[in-house]
């Protein structure tokens, strides 16, 4: 019997090429989307799962109310980690790491001791020995025990070991960093390359043993620079421990602030809570926690999963719609089979075999499609996913899923088709296909609702991205070259600046530690107007030079820019932003004294400019003149970027011949800061395209079916004198009504979804009605185009031909 089912299924497929193509093709697209997203999600969920004791390893963060806002912060004082381990017996291990460029983490010049050539490397951090143990980092060379226990030791990644020591034996070698021959670092271990993902991913880990970044650092309870992790024993109750940790505030922090007598700080400390975040949740569940790391958002992970699932459902709908629509062809067969002795369950199983066969075919094609699309998907999603062909579970999941999908998509058609009464079929009194018409309409509406929601969402995301890129930022990011790795210039930095200013292509040059983009340093300070200690405002202080405002095109609102004519500009004068003026309530700010402990005179107020990405509000800012070797920004005067670049590179080579000249452009850095938005935009693009493609395939097939079914009616109408237009309208209007209903349903859904998404941005566009109109028009046009192919064909029918064959 099974063989007979297969035979019929195969012959039906052969006879119904268009419908088969659409059924299988649509499902294959849905499956490809699901496979890609499943790989993506699997990757996202795998972060830090390899840590055997992951349930006992936590990152500490603090939650406190600051300026009326709740703040979650992951940076702690240098002695914090040690105090935790000493004070709480539940804590077995504690470890810190530090990524601050201020203290030398991040980028460095590297060379092997005894060689001359320096190489530029990034991804340096400082860490404790116990941190390696907490993360259970596997070693390929050396041993994790005691790897960082001695001063001046360093652990490197396998990639870097392969790069610098291709013959192995990296351990025991010595590295010179930033030409500092007084502080050589001995390599004590090589971290193994694994496929396991971690939020903690660095190439060079320098020990913190025996190191004070400044005198007395390890007893300093004020500066917060360290990520702190702990490992607890099995018996510990996490909530209870979180409560107990509060004693740290009482014991170490409050006494110091009481000494200083700062009421605001004490208030903040009293609001403080310590929270323990499981290490494997850091990658996906760190929204609202300030940690300066790039990670994903669990909401998007599930949103993508939902959308991929929806696309698969759309494809299943095509399957159901086409199977029931084409039931006329199968009704006779059903009637006959029943007449000669088939039970209903025989027929149900026959149709299920058929749909499972379809599903298996679709899976084969779908997985192939996913494989083809994977490189593209990887570049969009910034991943390096691969299809695990050699894993038994992958094959198992695929086979099981194809059976499941085949069953799911085939169940309704099987019950519908097998319900035909032989008597009705044989008498010809069954109006085939019409019974399930309402369901079909409903499913078409569902398909287009999904598609239109995705289209509108895509439009909103792209518009927000445009809004970000074109927003008036308060500074000019165009034609600003940012020179990297300038710390190697050393004392030559001012001289380098002067030489650049000689170049005809260069308009302004500024040396600063800060730029209004992500990835450059940030700090927190407390400011108050001199003599008004009761109102303190948190803000940043940026060390800049005299040309900072000019180079970045930041506009002065009142007062004056820094000038070499005033010696005091380099000592005590500051320029502040409008936000700080407002928050401090300064009237006539010019000449006012503000202080963070050290008094400063306000000589200028700048119009607010964005200090970070547009998800963040503009915060109070103080700019002061100060020597720094951080970043050199060059405002170019013309569009002749190429000649400017080669001139600047030439100057660079005269200063540091062993160093390659590296640079970025400020506008690119700015766009990069919003890369996540662009990435989501691209993924939505792809999804919207797939959804509308699948929906249109279905619509195309349905309209083909309808035309086929009404051929005789159309012919008679044409004989009776119906015009092309009236036939076209007759065949198109019903479908368009469905699309219109879908538009109405999708608008509030899209509006709600996108409003929620935009809430993440402090600066956002408003969703106008034009977007919905645009989305609706796109969907309608695509639908009309899809249906028209069939409708026009039908309206041009040669009536005699189809009537004669009746």
Partner 1 sequence: MIKIENLKKSFRTEEVETLALNSVNLKVEGGEFVAIMGPSGCGKSTLLNIIGMLDNPNEGYYYFNDQEVGGLKENQRTKIRKGNLGFVFQSFNLIDELTVFENVELPLIYLNMKKSEREQKVKKVLERMKIAHREKHFPQQLSGGQQQRVAIARAVVTNAKLILADEPTGNLDSKNGIEVMNLLTELNQEGTTIVMVTHSDRDSHYAHRVINLFDGQIVTESQNKPFEVNA
Q: Which is nearer to partner 1, 353 or 782 (CB)?
A: 353
Task: Identify each DSSP E strand in 452-598 by its residue range.
Answer: 480-483, 506-512, 525-529, 537-544, 556-559, 573-577, 593-595
CA–CA dist 283, 294 (Å, integer): 8
* Residue 332 Cβ vs partner 1, minimum distance, rounded to whole Å: 7
Distance of CA 75 to the CA centre of its chain: 23
Q: Shortest distance, CB of residue 336 to partner 1, whole angstroms?
A: 5
DSSP 290: B
Q: How far is the CB of 430 from partner 1 (least distance, A)?
A: 13
What residues contact 434, with CB distance under 8 A and at least 6 apart?
Answer: none
DSSP string, 338-355: HHTT--HHHHHHHHHHHH
How, if at all, do strands 480-483 and 663-665 pair? antiparallel
142 or 433: whose CB is closer to partner 1? 433
Q: Report the nearest approach of partner 1 to the CB of residue 283 (Å).
A: 54
User: For partner 1, which is the closer residue by CB, 2 or 214?
Assistant: 2
Nearer to partner 1, 11 or 251 (CB): 11
Task: Give the containing element (helix H, strand E) for 187.
Answer: strand 185-191
Shortest Å, Cβ 18 to partner 1: 17
Name which of 342 and 783 has its Cβ closer to partner 1: 342
Q: How far apart are CA 531 and CA 528, in angstroms?
A: 8
Dist CA 105 CA 121 (whole Å): 11
Answer whether 38's CB lies under 8 Å from 401's CB. Answer: no
Q: For the range 420-425, what are the long-range contacts, defined as Cβ-Cβ under 8 Å and sequence gap of 24 or more?
A: 420/327, 420/331, 420/334, 420/335, 420/338, 421/335, 421/338, 422/334, 422/335, 422/336, 422/338, 422/339, 423/335, 424/335, 425/331, 425/332, 425/334, 425/335, 425/336
Of 10 and 302, the one with the shorter C-beta distance to partner 1 is 10
DSSP sequence for 77-139: ETTHHHHHHHH-TTEEEEEEEE--GGGT-EEEEEEETT----EEEEEEEEE-HHHHHHTT--E
Q: How far is the CB of 15 from partner 1 (least distance, A)?
A: 7
How far apart (Å, rounded) are the C-alpha atoms in residues 167 and 187? 15
What is the rounded CA–CA span in Å between residue 528 and residue 583?
10
Q: How far is the CB of 23 from partner 1 (least distance, A)?
A: 17
Token pair recorded at residue 111 = 């060379």
**Given the complex with partner 1, which of 356 and 739 has the nearer CB atom?**
356
Q: Residue 490 has what DSSP assignment? A: G
Alpha helices in 382-471 (DSSP H): 392-418, 422-427, 437-470
Closer CB to partner 1, 122 or 339, in the complex: 339
Q: What is the spatial distance between Cα 229 and Cα 135, in angstroms, rounded to a whole number?
A: 9
Cβ-based nearer residue to partner 1, 337 or 717? 337
| CB neighbour list of residue 805: distance below 8 Å, 6 or more residues apart | none
- The nearer residue to partner 1, 49 or 346, going by C-beta atoms, is 346
In whole angstroms, what separates CA 632 from the centre of its chain?
29
The nearest distance, CB 353 to partner 1, in angstroms, is: 14
Closest to partner 1 by CB, 1 vs 396, is 1
Q: What's the min distance (Å) between Cβ of 371 and partner 1? A: 34
Least distance in angstroms from the C-beta of 323 to partner 1: 15
Residue among 338 and 610 whose Cβ is closer to partner 1: 338
Q: Looking up tokens 């940026």, which residue turns up? A: 542
**What is the spatial distance between Cα 461 and Cα 710, in angstroms, rounded to a whole number?**
43
Q: Summarize as ranges the residues that interact with partner 1 (CB under 8 A).
A: 1, 4, 7-8, 11-12, 15, 332-333, 335-344, 346, 421-423, 426-427
Find the shortest distance in angstroms from Cβ 422 to partner 1. 5
**Residue 179 tokens, joined:** 């030409």
The least distance separating partner 1 from the CB of residue 413, rounded to whole angstroms, comes to 17
Task: State how far the alpha carbon of 482 is from the alpha carbons of 106, 107, 515, in Å.
Answer: 17, 15, 10
Nearer to partner 1 (CB atom), residue 256 or residue 426: 426
Dihedral angle over CA of 689, 695, 696, 700, nearest 10: 160
CA distance 446 to 726: 28
Query: CA 563, 564, 566 angle in degrees (round to 5)?
Result: 75
* Closer Cβ to partner 1, 3 or 438, answer by number: 3
Please report how close the Cβ of residue 327 comes to partner 1 at its closest, in angstroms.
15
Residue 388 and residue 294 in contact, taking contact as beta carbons nearer than 8 Å: no
- 3-state helix/strand/coil string of 241-268: HHHHHCHHHHHHHHHHHHHHCCHHHHHH
CB of residue 338 to partner 1, shortest distance in Å: 7
Q: What's the min distance (Å) between Cβ of 420 and partner 1?
A: 11
Measured from the CB atom, the residue of 431 and 660 that comes closer to partner 1 is 431
């Amino acid at each position: 019997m099974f063989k007979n089912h297969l035979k019929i299924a195969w012959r039906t497929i052969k006879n119904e090429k268009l419908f088969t193509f659409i059924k299988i093709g649509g499902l294959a697209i849905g499956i490809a989307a699901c496979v890609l997203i499943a790989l993506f999600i699997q990757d996202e969920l795998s972060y830090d799962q390899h840590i055997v004791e992951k349930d006992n390893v936590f990152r500490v963060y603090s939650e406190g109310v600051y300026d009326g806002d709740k703040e979650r912060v992951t940076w702690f004082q240098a002695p914090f980690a040690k105090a935790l381990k000493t004070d709480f017996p539940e804590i077995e291990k504690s470890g810190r790491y530090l990524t601050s460029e201020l203290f030398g983490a991040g980028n460095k010049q590297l060379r092997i001791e005894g060689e001359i050539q320096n190489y530029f490397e990034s991804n340096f951090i400082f860490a404790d020995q116990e941190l390696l143990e907490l993360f259970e980092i596997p070693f390929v060379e050396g041993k994790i025990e005691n790897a960082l226990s001695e001063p001046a030791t360093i652990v490197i990644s396998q990639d870097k070991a392969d790069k610098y020591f291709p013959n192995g034996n990296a351990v025991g070698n010595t590295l010179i960093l930033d030409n500092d021959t007084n502080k050589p670092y001995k390599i004590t271990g090589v971290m193994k390359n694994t496929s396991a993902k971690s939020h903690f991913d660095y190439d060079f880990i320098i020990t913190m043993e025996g190191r004070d970044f400044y005198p007395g650092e390890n007893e300093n309870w004020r500066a917060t620079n360290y990520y702190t992790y702990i490992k607890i024993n099995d018996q510990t109750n996490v909530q209870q421990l979180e409560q107990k940790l509060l004693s740290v505030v009482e014991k170490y922090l409050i006494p110091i602030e009481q000494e200083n007598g700062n009421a605001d700080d004490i208030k903040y400390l009293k609001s403080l809570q310590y929270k323990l975040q499981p290490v494997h949740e850091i990658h996906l569940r760190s929204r609202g926690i300030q940690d300066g790391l790039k990670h994903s958002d669990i909401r998007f992970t599930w949103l993508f999963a939902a959308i991929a699932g929806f696309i698969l459902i759309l494809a299943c709908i095509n399957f159901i719609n086409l199977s029931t629509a084409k039931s006329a062809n199968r009704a006779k067969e059903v009637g006959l089979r029943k007449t000669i002795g088939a039970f209903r369950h025989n027929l149900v199983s026959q149709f299920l075999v058929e749909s499972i066969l379809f599903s298996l075919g679709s899976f084969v094609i779908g997985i192939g499609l996913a494989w083809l699309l994977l490189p593209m998907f990887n570049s969009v999603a910034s991943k390096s996913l691969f299809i695990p062909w050699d894993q038994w579970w992958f094959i198992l999941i695929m086979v099981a899923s194809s059976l499941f999908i085949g069953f799911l998509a085939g169940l309704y058609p099987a019950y519908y088709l097998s319900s035909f009464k032989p008597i009705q079929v044989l008498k010809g009194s069954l109006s085939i296909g019409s019974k399930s018409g309402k369901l079909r309409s409903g499913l078409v509406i569902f398909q287009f609702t999904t598609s239109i929601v995705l289209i509108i969402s895509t439009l909103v995301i792209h518009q927000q991205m445009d809004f970000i890129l074109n927003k008036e930022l308060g500074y000019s990011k165009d034609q600003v070259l940012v020179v990297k790795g300038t710390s190697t210039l050393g004392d030559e930095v001012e001289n380098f600046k002067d030489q650049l200013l000689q170049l005809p292509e260069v308009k302004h040059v500024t040396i600063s530690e800060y730029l209004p983009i992500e990835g450059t340093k940030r700090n927190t300070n407390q400011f108050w107007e001199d003599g008004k200690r009761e109102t303190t405002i948190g803000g940043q202080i940026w060390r800049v030079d005299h040309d900072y405002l000019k180079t970045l095109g930041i506009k002065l609102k009142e007062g004056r820019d820094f000038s070499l004519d005033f010696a005091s500009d380099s000592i005590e004068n500051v320029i502040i932003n409008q936000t700080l003026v407002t928050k401090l309530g300064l009237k006539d700010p010019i000449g006012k004294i503000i202080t963070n402990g050290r008094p400063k005179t306000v000589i200028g107020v700048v119009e607010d400019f964005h200090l970070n990405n547009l998800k963040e509000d503009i915060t109070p800012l103080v700019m002061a003149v100060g020597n720094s070797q951080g970043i050199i920004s060059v405002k170019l005067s013309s569009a002749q970027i190429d000649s400017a670049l080669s001139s600047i590179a030439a100057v660079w080579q005269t200063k540091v011949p062993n160093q390659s000249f590296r640079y970025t452009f400020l506008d690119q850095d700015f766009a990069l800061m919003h890369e996540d938005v662009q990435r989501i935009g691209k993924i939505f693009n792809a999804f919207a395209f797939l959804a509308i493609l699948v929906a249109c395939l279905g619509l195309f097939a349905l309209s083909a079916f309808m035309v086929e079914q009404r051929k005789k009616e159309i012919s008679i109408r044409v004989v009776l004198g119906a015009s092309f237009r009236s036939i076209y309208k007759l065949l198109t209007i019903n479908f368009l009504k469905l699309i219109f209903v879908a538009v109405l349903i999708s608008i509030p859904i899209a509006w709600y979804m996108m409003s929620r998404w935009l809430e993440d941005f402090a600066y956002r566009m408003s969703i106008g009605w034009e977007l919905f109109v645009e989305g609706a028009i796109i969907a309608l046009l695509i639908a009309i185009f899809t249906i028209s192919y069939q409708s026009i064909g039908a309206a041009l029918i040669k009536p005699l031909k189809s009537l004669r064959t009746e």
